[in-house]
Amino acid sequence: MDGNGRWAKQRGLKRTKGHQKGAEVVREITTYCTKSDEIDTLTLYAFSTENWKRPKMEIDFLMTLLERWLEKEYQTYIENDIRFKVIGDIEKFSKNLQKKIYETMEKTKNNKRLTQILALNYGSRDEITRAVKKMVKNNEEITPENIQKNLDLPDDVDLLIRTSGEIRISNFLLWQIAYAELFFTKTLWPDFSAEELDKIIKEFKKRERRFGAVSE
Pairing of the two strands 114-122 and 82-87: parallel
Q: Which one, of 105, 136, 24, 117, lies nearest residue 69 by Cα?
A: 24
Nearest alpha carbon to residue 127 among 148, 160, 152: 152
Single out the catalytic residue among 2, 4, 121, 150: 2
Question: Nearest CA to 51 among 121, 4, 1?
Answer: 121
Catalytic residue among 4, 37, 51, 150: 51
Picking from 115, 25, 132, 119, the residue whose alpha carbon sits closest to that of residue 77 is 115
Per the annotation, the verdict on 51 as an active-site residue is yes
Tell me if residue 126 is catalytic. Answer: no
DSSP structural state of residue 38: T
Task: List the catalytic residues.
Answer: 2, 51
